[in-house]
Amino acid sequence: MLKQSQYLIPTLREVPADAEIASHKLLLRAGLARQLASGVYTYMPLALRTLHKIQAIVREEMNRAGAQELLMPTLQPAELWQLSGRWDAYGPELMRLDDRHDRQFALGPTHEEVITSLVRDEVNSYKKLPLNLYQIQTKFRDEVRPRFGLIRCREFIMKDAYSFDTSWEGLENNFQAMFDAYSRIFTRVGLNFRAVEADAGTIGGTGTYEFMALCEIGEDTIAYSTEGDYAANLEKAEVVYKGKTQPDLNVPPMEKIHTPATRTIEQLTNALQIEAKQIIKSLVLRVDDKLVIVLIRGDHELNEVKVKNHYDATHVSMASEEEIRNLVKAPAGFVGPVGLPADVEIIADNFVQDVQDGVVGANEVDYHLRHVKPGRDFQVKAYGDFRNIMEGDESPTGKGTIAFARGVEVGHVFKLGTKYSQALGATYLDENGRSQPMIMGCYGIGISRTLAAVIEQNNDENGIIWPVSVAPFHVHVIPVNAKVEEQRTASEEITAMLTEAGIEVLYDDRPERAGVKFKDADLIGLPLRITVSDKVQDGLVEIKVRRSGETFEVNRTELVPFIQELLAKL
Amino acid sequence: MLKQSQYLIPTLREVPADAEIASHKLLLRAGLARQLASGVYTYMPLALRTLHKIQAIVREEMNRAGAQELLMPTLQPAELWQLSGRWDAYGPELMRLDDRHDRQFALGPTHEEVITSLVRDEVNSYKKLPLNLYQIQTKFRDEVRPRFGLIRCREFIMKDAYSFDTSWEGLENNFQAMFDAYSRIFTRVGLNFRAVEADAGTIGGTGTYEFMALCEIGEDTIAYSTEGDYAANLEKAEVVYKGKTQPDLNVPPMEKIHTPATRTIEQLTNALQIEAKQIIKSLVLRVDDKLVIVLIRGDHELNEVKVKNHYDATHVSMASEEEIRNLVKAPAGFVGPVGLPADVEIIADNFVQDVQDGVVGANEVDYHLRHVKPGRDFQVKAYGDFRNIMEGDESPTGKGTIAFARGVEVGHVFKLGTKYSQALGATYLDENGRSQPMIMGCYGIGISRTLAAVIEQNNDENGIIWPVSVAPFHVHVIPVNAKVEEQRTASEEITAMLTEAGIEVLYDDRPERAGVKFKDADLIGLPLRITVSDKVQDGLVEIKVRRSGETFEVNRTELVPFIQELLAKL
């Protein structure tokens, strides 16, 4: 019998000063987690029970999808990371140490290198493929700014899986199996989530979805369609351009105008009394080793990832003030596409074509040009989709329009292809005895972050509201006055009876006032509370549903089936 | 259904060259573990199943004993280790790293500092004590010489528990509860073990037992009594001295003899034709900051730990050649207790008193003294128990004599006392409102080492012989010829039937020759093998018990109860 008086649940009355978001506050206030160092937490007994339940659900669904669990080391030799090129590329987020023999190791933030070298050494034939291997493990990433409690940590728990196939169709099967398993997992743990198309990022690969728990504190913007299930990350969401919608206008000749100290879109619209969409912004970007001018309509936002993908580049960033001056002889804010040397490369977002009578920088301090018409007054090398999607834009699926939501990434499914198998030599012999690189996918779930996301989505002003599937216990049994023999005895009998029936019970035997116990119960947030008062003399106890606040008066003799039914419904 | 063709069990025919001991060889050969770096291993799917079973047993028994599970971080701030003094004292075995802000961290090899600071911050009253908190976690220790596979690793899995009490009686209760839980755990996982009295070592504390799995490759010597259950580590086992057993002899006067190049006991016994027990060895030891001469009978072995405890010292080591020369003006090998300045401290093992006509060094190169009599020719400051116990010695319990065994430490229970609570300020208010330091115990189990020890004790020339409780699967189902439709179908039906009954089955569906499959089955070592041959036409299959080699021919219809009964008996 788990008696609360003996159990380490150090609840707090005060809201910790450094906690900004609900889940962080509640993890601390409900005694679930304690910080040891920035982004490094101890999981207290209640939280660990929930983590184990999340892990059990993850294992069930991974095994059901045909994946096999193993456990790889945290210490990873630098040599492996040098083979993949990530020893340098990963940067300061990779935690590193030297052992007593001055050999360098990384603390694993992810395990592509290790699993690829393992499978390279152990699997040589197509007969042993496909293979999907996963682990649940503590990971390390030296975040520049750990924050939001368990949302962005330096030490955290992940499930990571890696699939190995002989064909892209095989990868597609494994990928789909993982996508489906993830959907089941996040549904079972009680998250409101969306699978969101995302860019593959630095890990490489060609197809990727993020599973986002929807919450306002999310650091990522999700663009979703008001109809259908389309959703994508802002950086990924495609903007559909269907060609010019207006007839070709007769635009007056281009004209230079004096616009002193007018560098921003806002300053321009004020000074010239025009709308932002009449302006064509000229942004100078460094794309790997060259400088490129990208034109974007004044009311739109540049999407650097789309530019990066257009050029198949490794790095894209805004050019420095100096680089800009060298290129166009004018400072940022006055750059424009007109009259530049032929070797300056200009690309433009599709929607720039809709600006027929535009304003652009004159490549001269304090001057702009107006009545500028694309095609007439300047040429571009290519039009394309280089802007962020906006709320109200048409959905790429053609159904509905785009709305924004914010989310926390709790899962990620990637098609890696042959990036790591080629770098590390993970090949197999095909049916014809030819050596081929394995085709890989990788699939991650942030276990400890999922715990935080569940709390972030399931709480009210009084505390946590646990979904039954991952609640540390199902039922909180509370005698109104533990000093009254009859209430105490009844509480213990009820606890024993429910436990016998497989229901997990926390029994609050503390000699505290009822108000204190109820406050703690709401804060800890178990799905059901059973209050044992003087009415127990008549055989009656009160059940309160944490989420809805509903109460029921139930006879002790009918308690077990009543509770089972309630839990099944929640 | 777990089909072996799809399961990652990379068995090896060859015995790996660098594996010296049975468990290391078998971990590699049976595809259970793979080395990533020296002392750093990946647990393959089969091994992880066993690890999970060991962990489940540990959790059950820890919870039953009233302990609560939590999970502390691997990254531990240096400041905490500086508070306890172990940042320096732990030496190069502590793996250390700097984060991106140049803050220093240790990778936890143990968690006294972290748990003590946690309990310090969260528990302030005697009402919240006692408390026993445990975790199962990956630990790091930079062993100078990792070896023996999973026996001595740099990254390994441990269960560590820490108890907090208000009294020494309370600690005694927690200690006893852990001792009993450990006895149940090691019994349940199928180990032949002994609980062995041990010295508290550098961790500090006053009472400690090691749980030793008995195996010849063990690095520790256990002294146990041929009668009763007394067992102690060699460094701890007390040698009983009951006073002189012989009458006082009339010994001729002391005499100096020329013994050129005769420095060792063996050289002396040969040169003088005497027994080793007639020689009194004079060993110069550095005890913290002073030099001490310790006398030991020639046939006995010095026990430095006993000397250290006698002086309540921090460090004891053999003095350097230079220190010896400075002290006695003679090289090692010719040191003796006769005629030294009064400020040279001499202590002697009890049994030196039995040497009435002895040989000692003359404190002069190439000379010894004979006819030396303790008390007559030299004085000592104290007699005491300073030697290792030997086989044949009387047991300290008075019952039986001492025999030696070798063992691998799989568990450890310590009484820590107030060492850490005082260093880190973990105090509570007692019933009278007075601040008191908490009284602590700590309790470790090497989870991954236990896995290795189970294999070390349970194998034969053909492979592993898993105890049922921790076997990766219970039953191996093998069709003699998987190409024969009838055998294959029967095998799958049997697998499904057993699985349905809660029995864990590995089904070898590989298109290999029967001999290959049987060899792999013996190597992997599941408790029972079911062979499906042509006899299945008559409804018969063969069951083979891995441990005994017994075989049974059983009708398919009776298979489930038969297997259940066999497993219960094993």
Average pLDDT over residues B293-306: 96
Average pLDDT over residues B230-258: 90
Q: Cis bond leading into B130, ω under 30°? A: yes
Contacts of A438 in chain B (CB under 8 A): none
Judged by CB atoms closer than 8 Å, whether chains meet at A45 and B5 is answered as no
Chains A, B: CB contacts within 8 A come to 137
Q: Is the pLDDT of residue A203 over 60?
A: no
Band of the pLDDT at B32, cuts 50, 70, 90?
very high
State which H helix or E strand residue B269 sits in.
helix B265-272
* Cβ-nearest to A144 among B74, B100, B122: B100
Q: How far apart are CA A412 and CA A444, in angstroms?
A: 5
Q: Tens digit of pLDDT for each residue in B161-176?
A: 999 999 999 999 999 9
Q: Tens digit of pLDDT for each residue in B550-566?
A: 999 999 999 999 999 99
State which H helix or E strand residue B196 sits in.
strand B193-197
The pLDDT assigned to B247 comes to: 85
The pLDDT assigned to B198 comes to: 86
Band of the pLDDT at A1, cuts 50, 70, 90?
confident
Q: Say which range, A153-157, A368-372, B234-238, has the weakest mean pLDDT.
A: B234-238
Average pLDDT over residues B84-103: 95
Collapse the DSSP code of A346 into the 3-class scheme (helix H, G, I; strand E, B; otherwise coil) and give the result: strand
Give the gap in angstroms from C-alpha B76 to the nearest C-alpha of chain A.
8
Whether the Cβ atoms of residue A443 and residue A415 lie closer than 8 Å to each other? no
Average pLDDT over residues B492-497: 97
Band of the pLDDT at A200, cuts 50, 70, 90?
low
Q: Is the pLDDT of residue A258 over 80?
A: yes
Judged by CB atoms closer than 8 Å, whether chains meet at B37 and A122 is answered as no
CB contact set of A385 (below 8 Å; sequence gap of 6+): A238, A239, A241, A303, A306, A349, A350
Please name the residue that has the structure tokens 């790996």. B16
Judged by CB atoms closer than 8 Å, whether chains meet at B68 and A45 is answered as yes
Q: Is the pLDDT of residue B117 over 60?
A: yes
B194 φ/ψ sector (left φ>0, alpha ψ -120 to 50, else beta): beta
Whether the Cβ atoms of residue B139 and residue B108 lie closer than 8 Å to each other? yes
Q: How far apart are CA B525 and CA B546, in angstroms?
A: 7
* Cβ-nearest to B73 among A10, A36, A127: A36
Average pLDDT over residues A403-416: 94
DSSP state of B470: G
DSSP notation for A418-464: THHHHHHT-EEE-TTS-EEE-EEEEEEEEHHHHHHHHHHHSEETTEE
Give the gap in angstroms from C-alpha A416 to the nearest C-alpha of chain B.
21
CATH architecture of A255-384: Alpha-Beta Complex (3.90)
Give the gap in angstroms from C-alpha A11 to the nearest C-alpha of chain B.
9
Q: How far apart are CA B206 and CA A297, in angstroms?
A: 77
Average pLDDT over residues A201-228: 82
Average pLDDT over residues A204-211: 74
Whether the Cβ atoms of residue A41 and residue A19 lie closer than 8 Å to each other? no
Judged by CB atoms closer than 8 Å, whether chains meet at B100 and A114 is answered as no
Judged by CB atoms closer than 8 Å, whether chains meet at B114 and A43 is answered as no
Q: Tens digit of pLDDT for each residue in A465-519?
A: 999 999 999 999 999 999 999 999 999 999 999 999 999 999 999 999 999 999 9
Judged by CB atoms closer than 8 Å, whether chains meet at A45 and B37 is answered as no
The pLDDT assigned to A206 comes to: 55
ipTM value: 0.90
Collapse the DSSP code of A513 into the 3-class scheme (helix H, G, I; strand E, B; otherwise coil) and give the result: coil
Judged by CB atoms closer than 8 Å, whether chains meet at B51 and A71 is answered as yes
Contacts of A104 in chain B (CB under 8 A): none
Give the gap in angstroms from C-alpha B367 to the nearest C-alpha of chain A.
44
Domains of chain A, by residue range, sit at 17-238+404-455, 255-384, 473-569
The pLDDT assigned to A336 comes to: 96
Average pLDDT over residues A234-241: 91
Helices then strands, each counted (H, E), chain B:
14, 32
The pLDDT assigned to A452 comes to: 98
* Cβ-nearest to B45 among A37, A66, A69: A69
Average pLDDT over residues B132-156: 96
Average pLDDT over residues A202-214: 75
* Cβ-nearest to B45 among A6, A68, A155: A68
Judged by CB atoms closer than 8 Å, whether chains meet at A45 and B144 is answered as no
Average pLDDT over residues B221-245: 90
Of B346, B342, B338, the closest CA to residue B292 belongs to B346
Tokens of B19: 């594996």
Whether the Cβ atoms of residue B101 and residue B38 lie closer than 8 Å to each other? no
Whether the Cβ atoms of residue B392 and residue B224 lie closer than 8 Å to each other? no
Give the residue from A4, A6, A32, A71 with the most B CB atoms within 10 Å of its CB, the best one to mutate. A71
Identify the top-confidence range among A514-528, B16-30, B302-316.
Answer: A514-528
DSSP state of A158: E
* Cβ-nearest to B142 among A8, A42, A100: A100
Give the residue from B42, B113, B135 with the most A CB atoms within 10 Å of its CB, the best one to mutate. B42
Q: How far apart are CA B443 and CA B455, in angstroms?
A: 23
Sign of CA dihedral B199, B204, B205, B209: negative
Give the residue from B8, B52, B101, B438 with the most A CB atoms within 10 Å of its CB, the best one to mutate. B8
Cα dist from A359 to A9, A263, A323, whole Å: 64, 12, 23
Average pLDDT over residues A315-330: 92
Whether the Cβ atoms of residue B454 and residue B470 lie closer than 8 Å to each other? yes
Cα dist from B224 to B187, B400, B411, B445, whole Å: 19, 9, 18, 22
Contacts of B76 in chain A (CB under 8 A): 36
Q: What is the 3-state secondary structure (H, E, C) of B318-350?
A: ECCHHHHHHHHCCCCCCCCCCCCCCCCEEEEEH
Class of domain B473-569: alpha beta
DSSP notation for A208-255: EEEEEEE-TT-SEEEEEESSSS-EEETTTPPPP--S--SPPP-PPPPE
Judged by CB atoms closer than 8 Å, whether chains meet at B114 and A66 is answered as no
The pLDDT assigned to B18 comes to: 85
Of B78, B71, B201, the closest CA to residue A41 belongs to B71
Sign of CA dihedral B53, B59, B62, B66: negative
Contacts of B99 in chain A (CB under 8 A): 95, 142, 154
The pLDDT assigned to B204 comes to: 47
Cα-atom radius of gyration of chain A, to the nearest Å? 30
CATH architecture of A17-238+404-455: 2-Layer Sandwich (3.30)
Q: Is the pLDDT of residue A204 over 50?
A: no
| Record: fold of B8-238+404-455 | BirA Bifunctional Protein; domain 2 (3.30.930)
Average pLDDT over residues B38-50: 98
* Cβ-nearest to A77 among B36, B66, B70: B36
Q: How far apart are CA B264 and CA B276, in angstroms?
A: 10
Q: Is the pLDDT of residue B231 over 80?
A: yes
Q: Tens digit of pLDDT for each residue in A120-176?
A: 999 999 999 999 999 999 999 999 999 999 999 999 999 999 999 999 999 999 999
Average pLDDT over residues B250-270: 93
Mean pLDDT of chain A: 94
The pLDDT assigned to A205 comes to: 47
Mean pLDDT of chain B: 94
A-chain residue closest to B139, CA distance:
A74
Q: Tens digit of pLDDT for each residue in B427-467?
A: 999 999 999 999 999 999 999 999 999 999 999 999 999 99
Cα dist from B363 to A236, B253, B265, B282, B295, whole Å: 86, 18, 16, 10, 14
Contacts of B5 in chain A (CB under 8 A): 127-128
Give the gap in angstroms from C-alpha B554 to the nearest C-alpha of chain A.
32
* Cβ-nearest to B44 among A70, A96, A138: A70
Q: How far apart are CA A137 and CA A179, in angstroms?
A: 20
Give the bridge partners for B98, in sequence order.
B104
The count of C-alpha atoms lying within 13 angstroms of the C-alpha of A417, restricted to the half-sphere facing its C-beta, is: 8
Average pLDDT over residues A353-357: 93
* Cβ-nearest to B155 among A44, A75, A128: A75
Write phi, then psi, for A363 (nearest 5 degrees).
60, 40
A-chain residue closest to B93, CA distance:
A100
Judged by CB atoms closer than 8 Å, whether chains meet at A34 and B122 is answered as yes
How would you class A261 by CB atoms within 10 Å of its CB: exposed for 0-12, middle for 13-18, buried for 19 or more?
A: exposed
Tokens of B168: 């020494």
